[in-house]
Amino acid sequence: MEKPAYDLKSHAAFTDISPEEFDGLIIPGGRAPEYIRMNEAVTPIISHFFRENKPVGAICHVAQLLTVIPELMQWREYTAYPSCRPDVLACGAKYIDEQIHIHQNLVSGQAWPDLQDLCGNFLVY
């Protein structure tokens, strides 16, 4: 049985986002990546940060979301929640079994206990 999520109100729709206006992207994990990857407006946003070499923070189940951009994830190295290892490999990337891993502009973490280290490494990127 899943725990209920926080009741956070959205400030904008994905279609309202101009990624050019942002210096970096942190993608939270949990169940959200499984659902938001189905939104067609998400792919260009995420792609922008990788193409422009802006910092990206990804934790937990974000590997499920990154499967929508396999052409940009191929040959990368990153960590994720262990059950998401097949998603990492499906992109042609290398799964790294570490709590935190930094490769190029991607700072990745395995699970919520790693949030502090993920954010710290993201901020110094």
Alpha-carbon gap, residue 76 to 64, rounded angstroms: 15
In this structure, are residues 59 and 28 in contact, taking their beta carbons and an 8 Å threshold?
yes
Q: What confidence score (pLDDT) does residue 7 get?
A: 76
- Tell me which CATH code domain 23-123 carries: 3.40.50.880
Q: Write the pLDDT tens digit of every residue in 40-86.
A: 999 999 999 999 999 999 999 999 999 999 999 999 999 999 999 99
Annotated domain spans of the chain: 23-123
Whole-model pTM: value is: 0.92
Alpha-carbon gap, residue 48 to 71, rounded angstroms: 13
Residue with tokens 């042609």: 92
Query: Which residues are registered as beta bridge partners of 95?
Result: 78
Q: Please give the positions annotated as active site.
A: 60-61
Q: Write the pLDDT tens digit of every residue in 26-37.
A: 999 998 899 999
Tokens describing residue 56? 């990206």
Alpha-carbon gap, residue 76 to 93, rounded angstroms: 5
